[in-house]
Amino acid sequence: MIFTLPPLPYATDALEPVMSRETIEYHYGKHLQTYIDNLNRLIAGTPYEEANLEEIILNADGPIFNNAAQAWNHTFFFNSLTPEHTEMPEKVRKAIERDFGSVETFKEKFQKAAVDLFGSGWAWLAKDKEGRLHILQEPNAGNPLKSGYKPLLTIDVWEHAYYIDYRNKRAVFAEKFWEIVNWNKVAERLECNCCCGGGKSKDVQKTEMSDEATADEDKDADEAKCR
Ligand SMILES: [Fe+2]
């Protein structure tokens, strides 16, 4: 399939002052677009041409994995944010308190994971197959789907995510991040029973040969909900 830039769920200046219009214009409009363009170019003529983004992430490595995962991670990241202040829904709060002790402790640990990650990458809140929550650090284009976790929230700590607004102060960006988190989206992901993050390594070759187009379309729509 040909991948296209997903819609941004708010205006480019809507997250100011936490995230400036200039940052969004570069981060979403140029960096994400480049990952998508690179991915389309790299998969042309390969079995991945017929795969969805999750299947590419689970099966590919090297430049195809890097660009597919960065396309997925950024879509997920931008969908995790909102200009509207959202309260943490009860289900999310209870799960966080169960696995981290308190919301404050969770936030401290998540920020620390974001700040301590050496170089470029992502800090994630993710759910394991038993429903337990974890904070994960993933360098570069890393994505928890690859190790069987279902992502619930992420912060991008590549310098392009914060350098325009915060220069070298990644810790300030990680602290301000909470002001624009869409907790309703986190709750939706926590409750969703879609197949992402089940730890299943899907076989791209089999997918390519399948003639059950409708089932594939349903599956694609289902997995797209994870992002
Ligand atoms: Fe980024």
Q: Is the pLDDT of residue 211 over 90?
A: no
Which secondary structure element, helix H or strand E, spans residue 136, and what is its range? strand 133-139
Burial class (CB in 10 A: 0-12, 13-18, 19+), 120: middle
Ligand 1 centre from 208 Cα, in Å?
30
Q: Tens of pLDDT along 24-52?
A: 999 999 999 999 999 999 999 999 999 99
Ligand 1 centre from 164 Cα, in Å?
12
Ligand 1 centre from 91 Cα, in Å?
29
Ligand 1 centre from 22 Cα, in Å?
13
Ligand 1 centre from 158 Cα, in Å?
6
Confidence (pLDDT) at 78: 98
Q: Which residues surround ligand 1, an ion (CB under 5 A)?
A: 156, 158, 161
Confidence (pLDDT) at 200: 42
Kindly list the domain boundaries of the chain, sorted by start residue: 20-203+223-227
Q: Tens of pLDDT along 175-195?
A: 999 999 999 999 999 998 775
The predicted model gives 5-29 an average pLDDT of 98
The predicted model gives 98-116 an average pLDDT of 98
Pick the range with the lowest mean pLDDT from 5-14, 66-75, 190-199: 190-199
Question: Long-range contacts: 185-190, Cβ < 8 Å, 24+?
Answer: 185/79, 185/80, 185/82, 186/80, 186/88, 186/89, 186/92, 186/125, 186/152, 186/153, 187/89, 187/91, 187/92, 188/225, 189/150, 189/151, 189/152, 189/153, 189/226, 190/91, 190/92, 190/95, 190/127, 190/152
Ligand 1 centre from 215 Cα, in Å?
32
Beta bridge partners of 125: 135, 153
- This prediction has a pTM of 0.91
Give CATH for domain 20-203+223-227: 3.55.40.20
The predicted model gives 202-221 an average pLDDT of 51
Ligand 1 centre from 206 Cα, in Å?
32
Ligand 1 centre from 130 Cα, in Å?
30
Ligand 1 centre from 92 Cα, in Å?
25
Ligand 1 centre from 191 Cα, in Å?
26
The predicted model gives 149-162 an average pLDDT of 98
